[in-house]
Structure 1
Amino acid sequence: MRKILPLLTLLFFAIGMTIAVSNSAYAAAKISASEYNAGDTVTIEGTIEPGKDLYVAVASQTTFAPKDTKGVHETKKFKKYAKKVGFKRDTRVPVLYYMLTTNPAKFGKTVAKKYGGPSFAKGIYSTTMFKLKKYGKLDDEAKAMLGPIKTKEEWNFYKFLHEKTYGINTVTKEATKRGKVTIFARSVLTDYGKTGNYWDKGTSISLDKATGKFTASFKSFRHTPPNTKFDVYVNAAKIGTFNLKPKGFWLSRGGRYMNPLWIIIGAIAVGAFFTLIGAAGGMLMAAYQVMVVHTMGPIGINAANVLRPSNVALTLFSPLGAFYRYAVVEKRVAWPVGLSFGVGILIGSIWLGKYATRYLPMKSYKEWLAILVVLMGIRTLYELTPKVMEKRKAIKAMVKKFNEEVARAKAEGRAAEMGKIEPVKSSLTDYRFKFWGEEFRINALLFGIIGIGIGIVARSFGIGGGFILVPTMTMLGGLPMYVAVPIGLIGTSFSSIGAFIGYAINRYWPDLWIFIAIVIGGFVGGMIGSRLQKLFSEKTLKWTLAIVLFFLFFRFFKIEIWI
């Protein structure tokens, strides 16, 4: 027995060493650096068991569960999706997670994807995306390679956060797009040189199955929050951690790296255009935030609930920048109409708007708005026809006087003077005034009632509502653009105040730096736009308004991919 015991000890030691050496040989891997800048390429290299496929799971240590959200609307949305998709309130997954593999078919497949266009069209553009399998379709090997994702609920939640736009915009914050339309979020990646898939761009994987040697690299997300740490698993074994350092000026609630100066420049341009025609300021600023700033919000808050409050800065402070010239210098603000509009808009945005955002299906709501704005655009162009201009003699006479003044000013080398509002009769239902010597009549109470509807729209989309307000005044009120625009700016100011109060009640706040930048740019833009307006004829302003309305039609119906 004494002779056998040392032999057994030696045997077990040899077996243990063999296993240890084998495992170290087959799981030896390293990360090329412990720290990178956000957006840098991360490289992992090493050796796995010969003949095996490579599975590298990269998971952020920052995790999220539905119970973590502080948003009122997000809480309700997650509750709804949890039942439908199959996860729980405390289901927790990494916010950012990538699977780099030589065998993506283990986890899903490339499928055709239709997108864009109105809901009834079921998509008018075609592309492809990587669709993850259902948990029950994953084999045991695939499940073993998932790293921190262990359960069916976690896989379901991860799948939701990478394939549903709401999940992407609320948690993942990294969107894989075609044009400017989100298709899905990067999940399973493989070598771009072999697939050519747009979502694999920046990913390179080489594996020698005979020896097990591999190199895998991928481009990290440019807007990963500062100092986010990631754990790396190679074929189920955790091999290390790396950190992504900040690169640029971080907008904490915007969820993006962006120099605020670019936001100021964009706000100046949008603010000038907005105060020139009195419409689409909020929509254009939203487009700028989506296209250039890429505002996404903090983890757990939907991007729209940061973008909309930020837009309020533009639709409130651009009019303030324009009011001095419109109201004080040129005296062409019809205050009774503007204030009536404002009161109606406040009621709509603060009181009724909350019910619209809670109960109305936004998709169909936008499509009805699309129909409305295209009809307004057609009507605006129709108003420029000789037949209509002949009927609206006051506007025709005003346009003639304005053109004559422009011609005289040009001949004399001076700036053209703008006509002033001269009240004739002040009544809630019969307000009359003269502009360029021509009398106009309008029912202020009626426009106050219309303002309620505009307020609901403003609250729902985080915009001023000028794209409805100004055409309504030119069509129903028969007002010239030079009068309609200042009134419209009063209305958008009120709607902006009401909308912001609504957001504040629900504790949805803009990013501070985005808000400040838009305030500065919007105010300056308002000053510029109000000075520029008299350089353009009534016809030019209406053409511009019509083009904007058609632009909004395409945007609401998702018939474009650049926004």
Structure 2
Amino acid sequence: MMKCKQLSISLMVISIWLLALQSSSFAGATVSADKYKAGDTITIEGQIEPGQDLYIAVAQQAMFKGNVTEFAGQSSVGTYEKKKLPQNGEKAGFTMDTEIPPLYYMLTTNREAFGSDVDKKFGGPSFLFKKGQGLYNTTMFKLKKNFDEVAAKDMLGPIKTAEQWNMFKWGHENSYGIDTVVKEGNKKGKVVIFARSVIGDASSGNYWDKGTSINLDKATGNFKASFKSFRHTAPDTGFDVYVNGTKSGSYTIEKNGFWLAKGYRYMNPLVVVIGAILVGTYFSMIGAAGGMLMGAFQALFVQTAGPVGINAANVLRPSNIALTLFSPLGSFYRFAVVEKRVAWPVGLSFGAGIFIGSIWLGTYVTQYVSMTAYKEWLGVLVVIMGIKTLMELTPGAMNKRKNIKAMTQKFNAAVKKAKETGEAMEMGSIEPIKTGITDYRFKFWGEEFRINPLLFAILGIIVGIVSRAFGIGGGFLLVPMMTTIAALPMYVAVPISLVGTCFSSIGSFIGYVLNGYLPDMVLAGAIIIGGFAGGMLGSRCQKMFSEKTLKIVLACTLFFLFFRFLKIEYWI
């Protein structure tokens, strides 16, 4: 009897062992390499139990949570993020102790277990469209709202709780989460719709599945899956691979190009220098939109993202300031010393107001005012200024401003003479007549102009607040103010604007530093070199263009900003 009992137990143990062996044989999987370069294709193949769907979770080994001060060897969670992350967490359903892998991909044959494809509208001003509406229409993969609804929650690897799921969903579908934690986004045109998370085979036709291949033979359980790694994965980032809930391997992403540590992107600095030269040249000729255009260059070409835990804007904006400060400095020798075109009383009063607005009041505005609504109404303002700028070119407006009309005629005559004689054209210079706090008068090309420095000091405060909010110089407001309100010619307005943007840039930079935000030093250095060179080039080129041409270019710039501010930029 005892022998029979022992035999039964032995048979049971052997059966369990055989079942475990069979089960483990189906869980086998291999990653095609231990190391890849960022942007390489990752291939995973093996066998699962026949008849099952395939779930491959690829998760970054380093986990991020909101209360950390360092992530992957870098400072994490800045001053503003420490305030905003808890607010986002309260709404989304996670705490600052919740942790998720910033980069995470679920390759599966059963995407419906985690969410579904939905229509997504985007673009256009919020004051015209309600939440969920927009100018453009696309699709996205929307994760299930509740963790309990996830049919394959056991297959998620390191994501095991409802709080983690909520944070994961927020990080992949909320723009602030993408810009602060995930750093990777699926785009339509130049607009990020959501972050790559659950991925299917490219045969689906979905834009987020592009470059992915998933082949599964359900009869045998044999599978082979491949996908492209994120091109801007930080060097030496480790990933774990889970196949149907079982950890099956790991790999490391290595450096693939010049890595910008704070910019969190691979980019050749020479490309940044060239971009800064172009923007700096334009900026020093028009006196406007240097920061905005450099920001657009960073967003579209460099794709400045910032380290995990730091919102992209808090790295991009301080970097922009390098251009709005050093491009004017590059132009000052010609504008101020050679051609004497700087109306210093106006420039300094403007600068004082801007400095106050950017370093003091701007701090409060950026924390308590909704930047989305703020930016949109600013867009309405700039388009009005653009229309007003074009209206100034009409014969009726020119007749009312006889000094500008006369100055334009003298400028055109000087250009004609220079062409006939082959000599360099001599630019007019400013000749002060009267200097006062509320009344400053000067002559330019023999025509008298009058301006109120105190008024522009007050206007400078407003410009300074805008400058701090967006990390720009504020020239897109300065120049139209001077050409429309003060009726100054572009040849005088631009140098004054550049003085003002220097003050706003210094004030904004100090504000960012005091809050612990620094630019990527390599990125900033490249922008400084290019911006300074562009400033020198633009100051020499400005006199090659007429007042009318400069105003048309200014108006076009303002219309461009209108499209950007009101998010009508699908194609930009």
TM-score greater than 0.5 by the shorter chain? yes
Partner of 2:72: none
Q: Give, in whole Å, the separation in 1 of the partners of 2:387 and 2:195.
A: 39
Of 439, 463, 466, the residue aligned with 2:472 is 463
1:404 aligns with 2:413: yes
Q: Give, in whole Å, the separation in 2 of the partners of 1:96 and 1:30.
A: 20
Other structure's SS at 2:152 match: helix
Q: Give, in whole Å, the separation in 1 of the partners of 2:496 and 2:325.
A: 13
Partner of 1:90: 97
Q: Give, in whole Å, the separation in 2 of the partners of 1:177 and 1:196.
A: 15
Q: Give, in whole Å, the separation in 2 of the partners of 1:368 and 1:184.
A: 26
Counterpart mapping for 1:168-247 below 5 A: 168-193=178-203, 195-247=204-256
Counterpart contact for 2:147–2:165, Cα < 8 Å: no
Q: Give, in whole Å, the separation in 2 of the partners of 1:3 and 1:125.
A: 77
How many angstroms does 1:103 deviate by? Answer: 0.4
Paired AA for residue 63 in structure 1: M
Partner of 1:152: 162
Counterpart mapping for 1:207-356 below 5 A: 207-356=216-365
How many angstroms does 1:63 deviate by? Answer: 1.1
How many angstroms does 1:20 deviate by? Answer: 3.2
How many angstroms does 1:17 deviate by? Answer: 3.6
1:134 aligns with 2:145: yes
Q: Deviations over 1:105-132 (max 9, x none)?
A: 0000000000011012231000000000
Partner of 1:552: 561
Counterpart contact for 2:66–2:77, Cα < 8 Å: no
1:110 aligns with 2:123: no
Paired AA for residue 80 in structure 1: Q
Q: Deviations over 1:514-537 (max 9, x none)?
A: 100000000000000000000000
How many angstroms does 1:173 deviate by? Answer: 0.1
Q: Give, in whole Å, the separation in 2 of the partners of 1:18 and 1:240.
A: 23
Other structure's SS at 1:243 match: strand
How many angstroms does 1:5 deviate by? Answer: 6.2
Other structure's SS at 1:67 match: coil
Q: Give, in whole Å, the separation in 2 of the partners of 1:176 and 1:459.
A: 29
How many angstroms does 1:14 deviate by? Answer: 2.6
TM-score w.r.t. length of structure 1: 0.98
Other structure's SS at 1:318 match: helix
Paired AA for residue 124 in structure 1: L
Counterpart contact for 2:232–2:265, Cα < 8 Å: yes
Partner of 1:389: 398
Other structure's SS at 2:393 match: coil
Q: Give, in whole Å, the separation in 2 of the partners of 1:267 and 1:160.
A: 34
Partner of 1:76: 83
How many angstroms does 1:544 deviate by? Answer: 0.3
Paired AA for residue 549 in structure 1: L
Partner of 1:449: 458
Counterpart contact for 2:441–2:448, Cα < 8 Å: yes
Other structure's SS at 1:215 match: strand
How many angstroms does 1:11 deviate by? Answer: 1.5
How many angstroms does 1:6 deviate by? Answer: 5.9
How many angstroms does 1:12 deviate by? Answer: 3.8
Q: Deviations over 1:539-559 (max 9, x none)?
A: 000000000001101110011
Counterpart contact for 2:42–2:227, Cα < 8 Å: yes
Partner of 1:54: 54
Counterpart contact for 2:147–2:166, Cα < 8 Å: no
RMSD: 1.1
Q: Give, in whole Å, the separation in 2 of the partners of 1:46 and 1:469.
A: 63
Q: Deviations over 1:366-391 (max 9, x none)?
A: 11101110000000000000001011
How many angstroms does 1:21 deviate by? Answer: 2.6
Counterpart contact for 2:482–2:488, Cα < 8 Å: yes
How many angstroms does 1:4 deviate by? Answer: 3.3
Q: Give, in whole Å, the separation in 2 of the partners of 1:147 and 1:551.
A: 45
TM-score w.r.t. length of structure 2: 0.97
Other structure's SS at 2:309 match: coil
How many angstroms does 1:3 deviate by? Answer: 3.7
How many angstroms does 1:70 deviate by? Answer: 3.1
Paired AA for residue 72 in structure 1: T
Q: Give, in whole Å, the separation in 2 of the partners of 1:346 and 1:274.
A: 20
Q: Give, in whole Å, the separation in 2 of the partners of 1:157 and 1:130.
A: 16
Q: Give, in whole Å, the separation in 2 of the partners of 1:220 and 1:452.
A: 46
Paired AA for residue 56 in structure 1: I
Any unmatched runs of 5+ in structure 2?
Answer: 69-75
Q: Give, in whole Å, the separation in 1 of the partners of 2:364 and 2:305.
A: 24
Other structure's SS at 2:441 match: strand
How many angstroms does 1:83 deviate by? Answer: 1.2
Paired AA for residue 139 in structure 2: T
How many angstroms does 1:16 deviate by? Answer: 3.7
Partner of 1:360: 369
Q: Give, in whole Å, the separation in 1 of the partners of 2:555 and 2:145.
A: 48
Q: Deviations over 1:340-380 (max 9, x none)?
A: 00000001111110111011111110111011100000000
How many angstroms does 1:135 deviate by? Answer: 2.6
Paired AA for residue 152 in structure 1: A
Moved over 4 A (4+): none
Counterpart contact for 2:147–2:153, Cα < 8 Å: no
How many angstroms does 1:72 deviate by? Answer: 1.3
Count of aligned pairs: 561
Paired AA for residue 558 in structure 2: L
Q: Give, in whole Å, the separation in 2 of the partners of 1:52 and 1:269.
A: 56
Counterpart contact for 2:430–2:444, Cα < 8 Å: yes
Other structure's SS at 2:184 match: coil
Q: Give, in whole Å, the separation in 1 of the partners of 2:451 and 2:245.
A: 73
How many angstroms does 1:137 deviate by? Answer: 4.4
Aligned-residue identity in percent: 64
Q: Give, in whole Å, the separation in 2 of the partners of 1:360 and 1:463.
A: 17
Q: Give, in whole Å, the separation in 2 of the partners of 1:358 and 1:556.
A: 19
Q: Give, in whole Å, the separation in 1 of the partners of 2:332 and 2:530.
A: 15
Q: Give, in whole Å, the separation in 2 of the partners of 1:379 and 1:534.
A: 23
Partner of 2:71: none
Q: Give, in whole Å, the separation in 1 of the partners of 2:571 and 2:456.
A: 35
Counterpart contact for 2:398–2:404, Cα < 8 Å: yes
Q: Give, in whole Å, the separation in 2 of the partners of 1:268 and 1:27.
A: 56
Q: Deviations over 1:487-539 (max 9, x none)?
A: 00000000000000110111111001110000000000000000000000000
Partner of 2:381: 372
